[in-house]
Every structure is written in C-alpha cells, then in structure tokens.
Structure 1
C-alpha cells in the first residue's frame, strides 16, 4: 500500500505541471514589474528544493549539477545573462520524473533520520526525518505554485 505522503506529492506535482503546461519559453522568462523572479525560476526552484530535501538530507547524491543548484537555490536571481540555463521544457521534464524517483528511493525509509543532521526552515520549522523533509516539500511547492499562477496572470493580462 502506498503511503499517503506520496499520493500528496504526486497530486501537488501534477497540479504544478498542469499549471506549467501552456507556458512558453518566452513567457517563462518574463519578470513583471514589482517581481524579483519569473516562472522558470520558480519551476527550477521547486525541483531544486525537492531534490535537496529528498536526496541531500538523506545523505544521497542529488541528480543536479552545481550549475543548476546555483541558478535555482534560495536567494538566487533569474538567469539573465547566465550560460547553460535549462529551458522551461527541460525543467518540466525534470519535474515530471522527480516524484517517482523520490518514491522509489524513500518509500521504505520515511522514518530514517537525516544522516547529515536536521535542518530548520526559514520559517522556523525543524526537520529531521525523511518524512518531515518530504512533507515540507508539499508546503514549499504550494507556495511556488501560487507564485506561478500569479505570474501567469500578470503576463497574460
């Protein structure tokens, strides 16, 4: 039987992918006035955080380059003038396969404690077990899903 957490991760990710489905490369790079990032950055950031919170904190290697990490880590700015920036389609493809990889690697490891130590989020939530890191990803992706929706409204209006 599948753990409810993976059902929720798939649900949230499918909603994110559906929201991104009609976004073009050009649209993904627009930064509306008053905003500090774009749709592509939010999508790449979602992937980066889930990768870090799933694999890195479980003591495993993340499947992204240092360059990708630098583009989409917290505090980074969108890619203007940077080289080797993935396209929105490449990011969508990464997002579409990530939850399956996470489930395959962690479905029997949810109670494991992070071998590299716990982490406290920017909002003060302490995380220690694999399940806690994955559960936080739901909240995080939901925040950036909403930002993507707002950016789309700004771009399409």
Structure 2
C-alpha cells in the first residue's frame, strides 16, 4: 500500500472515530429526536453516513455490499424518518448503526487497498463534482462525513444532549 493510500484510510478511520464518539452516549430515544425546523434525526444522519460511504466505496467499483437494499430508501438523499413507517424492512437501531459505523472503514480498506486509483464508472454529484476513481469518492466521503458530523453536533446542542 502506498503512503497516499495509507493516508486516506487513516483519515477515514480518524473522521469515523470522531463521528462514533458523538453517538456512543446517546439513548435510542435521543437518537430519534428531531429538532424543531429540521426533518431528520441523529439516527438518520448515522444511517446516512453508512449508506453514502457504502455507495461511494462499493457501488462505483462494482464491489458487493453486505447492506440490504433498504438502506438506500431509509437513509439516502431525500429520505427521512417520516417515510420509515411506510416501509416493510425494519430500520436499523442506533446501536446497529454504531456497529456498522465502527466496522465499515476496515471493510472499505480491505476492499479498496491497492485499487484507489483504478478508473470506475464516472459519477457527477448533485453539485457538479465529477468522481472517476475510488480515491476521489473517498475524498468526497470524508468531506460529507464532516458535514453530517457537524449536523449531529448541532442537533445535540439544540436538543440539550
């Protein structure tokens, strides 16, 4: 593994550890609270982080993912806890999401080590960013995780947690 590969995987571990620390002391009830004026909960944000990294790390290079297809409908862009009651699949509990958040970086590294610069099916984000390699997808995933970690911290503050 190159030094550059090691660096991005180390960053993924570090950022994910910070996210997990924001979630570890919450009760399931606290994870499901939605601050006034917002549409998602802390649990939704945790699941969204799992879903997006999974899609970025595994879908583009056409690698298998162990996550059920329901993760997309439950946690992808535009979804919200309001739609969870209309689904047949159970929504993962906060503790389940925490476990997925903890194990996912190692699984991503195992799948992508030595493959970060391989060309994959190009993807243009809703903001116009073109992604063409797993490294580019992971770089954007790090930025994305930072945004949602900030949202989780904001929700905690607004909810007095």
Give the TM-score range, shorter chain.
over 0.9
Unaligned runs of 5+ in 2: none
Separation in structure 2 between the aligned mates of residue 118 and residue 23 of structure 1, nearest angstrom: 38
Separation in structure 1 between the aligned mates of residue 145 and residue 126 of structure 2, nearest angstrom: 15
Separation in structure 1 between the aligned mates of residue 63 and residue 52 of structure 2, nearest angstrom: 14
Q: State whether structure 2 residue 76 is matched by structure 1 residue 70.
A: no
Provide runs of 4+ in structure 1 moved above 6 Å: none
Please give the per-residue CA displacement for 1:56-77, whole angstroms capped at 9, x wherever unaligned. 1111122211112210011111
Match of 1:60 in 2: 63
Unaligned runs of 5+ in 1: none
Separation in structure 1 between the aligned mates of residue 35 and residue 7 of structure 2, nearest angstrom: 37
TM-score normalised by length of structure 2: 0.91
Q: State whether structure 2 residue 94 is matched by structure 1 residue 88.
A: yes
Please report how far the alpha carbon of residue 123 of structure 1 lies from its aligned counterpart in structure 2 after TM superposition. 1.6
Q: Is the 8 A contact 1:53 1:134 kept in 2?
A: yes
Q: 19, 22, 25: which is aligned to 1:22?
A: 25
Match of 2:135 in 1: 131
Separation in structure 2 between the aligned mates of residue 58 and residue 152 of structure 1, nearest angstrom: 35
Aligned residues: 155
CA RMSD of superposed structures (Å): 1.4
Q: How does 1:138-149 map to 2 (within 5 A)?
A: 138-149=142-153
